[in-house]
Amino acid sequence: MATLRKRRNKWYARIRTWDGQREKEKLIPLRTESKADAWIRLAEVNKYENDIKNGMDFSFPWLNENCNTKFIQYTVTKAIQDYLCFLQRNGRRKSTINRASSCMSNFMKFSGKNFPVTKISNNEIENYKTYLSKKLSDTGVNINLIRLRAFINWIIDYSDHDITIPKITMLKIPQKSISYLCEKDMAELMKLDWLDPHYKMVFRFYWETGCRLREPFNGELNGKWLIVNPSESKTGIQREIELTSDQMSLVEQLQSRLRSSTALPRTFTTKYSRVFKKACATVGKPDLYFHNLRDTFAVLRYLQVRDIYQVSKELGHTTVKVTEKYAQFRLSRLESDFPTYASGYCGTNNGDSMFRDTHFRDTSINSKVFVDEESS
């Protein structure tokens, strides 16, 4: 049975439940300072004790204008609000919360704002997958399903509502091979007459350093190092990228351009991605994206040092398992795609920088496969 509990001169009905692992406590305000009135209202609460323990919510006469007891359903809208607040309280990054909010918004559009969370079933999940498939890629569908699964797990673990756990089966997607720019592609980009020299330098910077798109803009220069703080890093750990003097100057230029721009940081940096996409289409590589510059760095480094652990360290991955995809290529293929760089392998691992075991920078500037910035 529910029991009385007094907090700050107010009485509450306390209902305890056991979920198999820990005890949960639910307090229902009785809105009175009188113990006699509290006992009367407690009796009303006890009429619905079993239902409350099963996750149902009720509004009692002293809690609503109609002065009657009515059942309140826990809707998707309220649950999503509570879930996003939970993420914020527990230190999730703003970008994580925004992604969760976007995915949950998709589910709310499908189910309706007043859809009860207790009605989320296997059939509902399958219908949602069909709904998503009409407007998203298979990868996009799976991203939304992952967020939905986390949302449902939160309801089970942290809310007072018992729901039947639906089975969420991800779409099976064939593993996509890594795409990268080969040496010929890099040369063709540098030869584009319409491409501004600034963009050529920027694209070269990314395939030489393996930076993510926004790291040069969000990072801080410290000597010859670009330091990306944990709050700005995708992995949540500090990232350190060794730069040459030319690269340090370019980072300063990029950050200066961002500061003087009236555009939002995300809009400003996305422009580089769009220009790169256009350049790739011009040289016959329309399927490449800006992130493939980072992939290019990774396969080049693997070709040069033949040490996937070293490559993982330079990419800032938290585990080498994420990096292993770059070791799937036959070395003979990489050597044919990057003949100039393949000659730099000396069979040893020479530390953190890609500029120590091969004349990478000299090669990228002086080799005939590249066009000098001034002549372009």
Does residue 238 sit within a domain?
Answer: no
* Residue 358 contacts residue 341 (beta carbons within 8 Å): yes
Q: How many residues does the chain have?
A: 376
Map tokens 């029991």 to a residue.
Answer: 3
Task: Say if residue 196 is in the same domain as residue 296.
Answer: yes
The last residue of one of the domains, among 72, 106, 124, is 72
Amino acid at 127: N
Do 62 and 81 lie in one domain? The reply is: no
Tens of pLDDT, residue by residue over 189-201, are 999 999 999 999 9
**Predicted local distance difference test score (pLDDT) of residue 182:** 94
> Which two structure tokens, joined as six digits, stand for 143?
């991203």
The candidate with the shortest Cα–Cα distance to 301, out of 290, 291, 313, 317, is 313
One domain, residues 138 and 286 = no
11 and 134 together in one domain: no
Asked if 206 and 288 sit in the same domain, the reply is: yes
Residue 352 and residue 278 in one domain: yes
Number of H helices, E strands in the chain: 17, 8
In this structure, are residues 348 and 357 in contact, taking their beta carbons and an 8 Å threshold?
Answer: yes
- Per-residue pLDDT, 256: 96
> What is the rounded distance in angstroms from the CA atom of residue 198 to the CA atom of residue 175?
35
pLDDT of residue 162: 67
Does residue 154 share a domain with residue 42? no
Q: Looking at residue 106, what is its pLDDT?
A: 95
Q: Are residues 338 and 324 in the same domain?
A: yes
Task: Establish if 338 belongs to a structural domain.
Answer: yes
Amino acid sitting at position 32: T
Number of domains in the chain: 3
Radius of gyration of the chain (CA): 29
Residue 98, pLDDT score: 94
Q: Are residues 62 and 80 in the same domain?
A: no
pLDDT below 70 — which residues of the chain?
A: 19-21, 54-56, 70-72, 160-162, 344-376
- Looking at the fold, whether 197 and 308 belong to one and the same domain comes out as yes
**330 and 356 fall within a common domain:** yes
The whole domain housing 49 covers: 3-72
Give Cβ neighbours of residue 195 (< 8 Å, ≥ 6 apart). 189, 275, 279, 376
Is 323 domain-assigned?
Answer: yes
State residue 56's pLDDT score.
Answer: 67
Q: Is the domain of 148 the same as that of 206?
A: no
Contact (CB, 8 A) for 144 and 132: yes
Kindly report, residue by residue over 264-307, the tens digit of the pLDDT: 999 999 999 999 999 999 999 999 999 999 999 999 999 999 99
Global pTM? 0.70
Predicted pLDDT at 370: 39
